[in-house]
Structures are given as structure tokens and as C-alpha cells.
Amino acid sequence: MFSGVKPSGNPHVGNFFGAFTRWAELQQPGHFYCVVDLHAMTVPHDPAELREQTVDLASWLLASGLDPDTVTLFVQSQVREHSELAWILDCVATMGELQRMVQFKEKAAGQRDSVSVGLFNYPVLQAADIILYQADEVPVGEDQRQHIELSRDIAHRFNHRFGDTFRLPTATLPTSGARVMDLQHPDQKMSKSEESPQGTIDLADDADTTRKKLMRAVTDSGSEIRASADKPGIGNLLELLSAATGRTIPELEDEFAGKGYGDFKKAVAEAVIERLAPVRARYAELRADPAAVHAELGKGADRAREIAAATMADVREKVGLFGAERVRGAADPAEASPA
């Protein structure tokens, strides 16, 4: 299993319930979780801020329950094989299939001539991230399903052209907490707090700020507390409460039948605050000791690099790169040393 998260903006409860907690629940040896800092470079960025956000995000992942002794947690740019494989896959992917990617169309709308090649090429690097570790399962949100299907197509094409090399990845979608929506615009996915400060609950928000944002969350006409297409605000809050408590939405609908929106919002706020309290406390401990976080990321990169190097040795030989056969044989000191 492989999954990654981009260090841009502040992590929020949508990231936490939709990805971080899911990864922690699924974790086992052989799983790879990556802070994909190279992907954060597809738009203009501040170098110092990128470095800081990379460590910050890794701290949130650890605080959310990822165990670096069980899984491999690392930073993408620390394993250079990601970039090398991406170039090789560029020579397998086609312009047409990249132009069909919905996310690129949305992000490039109205500025196609000025967006970076990196943004266009983003899905190929993503494919390299995944198949480099022979991942057959990729937990993602619905908005990433198309990219995983492309990764599968590229891997299949490479295997057909050069011989069996990569496993074909499959997207696995979460069942709850998967798509936490903006508190002020429940028809939109929760996003960076700078884009919607009152609609987003940052993981770094304190309890009082969290409570205020939830109490001000948009609701719907009528007074019934139920999940339905015509009640997106209440449905979103039910989704949050379900994710925070582990209870099903039908159970929550029964509990709050006949109760008002005010009491319901208070219950959501307290449940979210209680769920996040130990995570926020652990995060504070980790940020007070950045050297420990760096050390864990270093160990993860070493483990990832070992797997990636073996994959790339096979890839280099199969595509016919000069000296690849000698690189594969370099494990034997007698062969690697000059006569």
C-alpha cells in the first residue's frame, strides 16, 4: 500500500478524518506513506516555507497515529528514484491521456499557457510514486480515482512493452469521513483555511476556535436532523460527528430526532474537540523536538530507498539504459572492483 499527502497549506479535519486516521487504522509492515514535497512545487512556492510545512505535516501524521516502526514514513524528495522513474514513465504516457485529467483542466482553467509543465505532468510523477514500491492498493479520495486509473494504465503499458515489472495499483475509497465539506459552503470540499477561514477547521486550531467555527456552520431550512441531498449543511455535520465518534449516521439521526440545530452543533463541536485533543497534544510534543521527527523521516527514507533502488535497477536494465546490467551486478564486490 502507498499513499501520499502534499505539504501545502494547513492540514484540516477533512485531511484528518478522510486520510490520516484511515492510514493509522490500516497500517502494517509493507505500507508506505509519503510527504510528497515534489508535488508541492507545481505552483510558485517559498522554499523555506516548503521545508517547514514538510516537517509540520510529518509531525501531524505521526501525531495522528502512524507508527514509524511499523510503516515506512518518508519525504518524497529524499528518494531520488521517484524523479528518475517519472521521466521513464513520461516516455510511456501520452499527451492525450494527461490532457484528459479532470484536475488539470480545473486548475489550468483560463491560464493554460502559464501553468507549469509540472502541473500537467503531476499524474505521471504520482504514478511513479505508487508503482516504484509495487503498491497494489492506494487509499485515496474520489477526486484522485482518475489519477490512480492512469497509474494502472501506465504500469500495464510499461509491462506490455518491456516485460512484467510493476504491480497494477487499485484505488480504495473510504466509507466515512471521506469528503468533509466546507462549513460555510457545504457544496464545496473543505480546503485550505486561507481560502475559507470560517469554513475550515485546521488541525492546529485551538478548542475554542474549533467550537466557534462549528457553531457558526451553515445549516439548512427546516429543523429535521437527517442526511439528505436537500440538507447538505446538516449532512456535512452528521458526517463529521460520525467520523469523530465512530457511530453510524442512522444512529445519530435517531439520537437527535426532535432536537434543535443548536444542541446538535454543540454535540458535533464537543465530539470533534475531544477526538482531536490527544492528537493536538502529541503534535505539540513533536514540534518541540524537530530533531526526533527528522530522525524518523531519515530512517523511513533509508527503508524506502532500498526498495526503490531494487525496482529501478530492474527498470533500467529492461529499458536498455547503458551500464544498467553492471549496476545490477555491483552487489558482488569482485565484479564491481577493477581488475
pLDDT digits (tens, 9 = 90+) for 203-248: 999 999 999 999 999 998 888 999 998 999 999 999 999 999 999 9
| Res 38 pLDDT > 50 | yes
Q: Is 180 labeled as ligand-binding?
A: yes
Q: What is the pLDDT of residue 332?
A: 42
Q: What is the pLDDT of residue 193?
A: 63
Q: Is 196 labeled as ligand-binding?
A: no
For residue 89, the surrounding DSSP H or E stretch is helix 81-90
Q: Is 142 labeled as ligand-binding?
A: yes
Q: What is the pLDDT of residue 192?
A: 72
Poorest-pLDDT segment among 2-11, 288-297, 318-327: 318-327
**Mean pLDDT for the chain?**
91
Beta bridge partners of 72: 32
Mark whether 231 is an active-site residue: no
Mark whether 192 is an active-site residue: yes
Catalytic residue among 105, 107, 265, 266: 107
Q: What is the pLDDT of residue 105?
A: 75
Q: Is 159 labeled as ligand-binding?
A: no
Q: For residue 122, what are the contacts with CB-CB under 8 A and spacing of at least 6?
A: 39, 42, 103, 104
How many Å apart are CA 191 and CA 202, to the nearest integer?
A: 10
Catalytic residue among 105, 192, 213, 231: 192
| Res 109 pLDDT > 90 | no
Q: Is 14 labeled as ligand-binding?
A: yes
Q: What pTM, to 2 d.p., does this model score?
A: 0.91
Q: Is 290 helix (H, G, I), strand (E, B) or coil?
A: helix
Domains and their CATH numbers in the chain = 2-177+290-319 (3.40.50.620), 193-287 (1.10.240.10)
Q: What is the pLDDT of residue 324?
A: 78
Mark whether 107 is an active-site residue: yes
How many Å apart are CA 208 and CA 195, to the nearest integer?
A: 21
Q: What is the pLDDT of residue 132?
A: 98
